[in-house]
Structure 1
């Protein structure tokens, strides 16, 4: 396990703890869904580390069974995680945005995404092997739509006067910037990940910086806004 992975786990855990601390102090039901998303991320990233264990050659029966089964790769886990993440994002912004027509549209988009994903993996049979083709583009589009609706609501309300005190503003901004910044990496990933070792090094470092920045942003938004409330 690389130092990048270990550092990422620590920062994700800190963000989840900060979100839980904020929820306990403020009793904000709107942010509860996003805090659940952070803990789901911690669980998936921790459980997904079994891939590192499978790199060994233990003779245990259960170990050999897993290594020779469809679970030898953790692609299935992250395929589930992406679907759950979009569902939780949708639930989060449905609570944040007060316009019934917008919340209905968000619900439709989430249901359409889930149905398309289920149908695709059912028909292709690649659930345990590959991720959803162009999935990152679809997720980026959905997050972009959710955040733009939130920004529009913020601009039309009095909350724009103290937006820097709102954790949702920091969460939305960090989430949007992360998706927009990492999507280009995945565009080139399928072309260069086999033939260019330097690209792999750059990709890993770039994603590490992007992820660290994102979860530090989450941690900051919870602790800073909580302090401002006091």
Structure 2
């Protein structure tokens, strides 16, 4: 079973990502919730990027087409550029999502300030280094984790202070926040400390793939559950 999951980790991950995006779209179609729309956009962005990102596997083949050889020898051969764009947009969309959820002006300023600071740091770094096609933003996972945790903590603080707390189980934003916090806190150590392990350490590589798959399944299942269950409870 473990080997089956590891060998098909990409399929399972994409399946649950798609399920979450579809569930979010169903919820959005039924409720017309403007704020949730932003997060659904984020889910579909994830699906699109994860699907397009597999083009690097196709480039591992050897074809004689001129366009194929040109692409394989270009800066677009690695998909680093694609995920740099994704990271930039993901922080922005999640930030806009939480900014729309919160009513506190102070909290909104913190969220918007975080988005602006992250955006400026990203743009300046890639303009100064020309590393956009070569590497990701330094400490990107650590920065992203810190920023998302701030967003989620601010959301929980406002939720605790409001009367909506009594109906938290009916809010898709509650399940989204729990899942986001879970994903970033669990995945960040895998990426931050992953560089300390050599590629020859096959046991760690298999453990990392399996753990990441389980985390992804739980996270996107939580998104899907939040949308469907909230829709059911609010009927």
Which TM class, normalised by the smaller chain length? over 0.9
Deviates more, 1:61-70 or 1:120-129: 120-129
Partners of 2:142 and 2:181 in 1: how far apart? Answer: 13
Partners of 2:203 and 2:120 in 1: how far apart? Answer: 38
* Residue aligning to 2:100: 95
Q: CA deviation at 1:100?
A: 1.2
How many residue pairs match? The answer is 230
Partners of 2:131 and 2:205 in 1: how far apart? Answer: 24
| 2:182 aligned with 1:177 | yes
* Residue aligning to 1:27: 32
TM normalised by structure 1 equals: 0.97
1:32-89 CA distance string (max 9 Å, x none) = 0000000100110111110110011011111111100000000110011001000001
* Residue aligning to 2:227: 222
Match of 1:150 among 155, 174, 196: 155
* Residue aligning to 1:127: 132
Match of 2:69 among 64, 67, 72: 64
Q: CA RMSD in A?
A: 1.2
Match of 2:212 among 201, 207, 227: 207
Alignment partner of 2:76: what SS? helix
Q: What runs of 5+ residues in structure 2 fail to find an aligned partner?
A: 1-5
Q: CA deviation at 1:6?
A: 1.1
Match of 1:47 among 43, 49, 52: 52
1:93-130 CA distance string (max 9 Å, x none) = 01000011211221111011011011111212211111
Match of 2:113 among 94, 108, 115: 108
TM normalised by structure 2 equals: 0.95
Distance 1:91 1:163, change over 3 A: same
Match of 1:10 among 6, 15, 28: 15
Answer yes or no: is the 8 Å Cα contact 2:141–2:192 preserved in 1: no
1:122-154 CA distance string (max 9 Å, x none) = 212211111111111100100011011100100
Partners of 1:144 and 1:113 in 2: how far apart? Answer: 14
Q: What runs of 5+ residues in structure 1 fail to find an aligned partner?
A: none
Partners of 2:198 and 2:177 in 1: how far apart? Answer: 30
| 2:203 aligned with 1:198 | yes
Q: CA deviation at 1:193?
A: 3.9
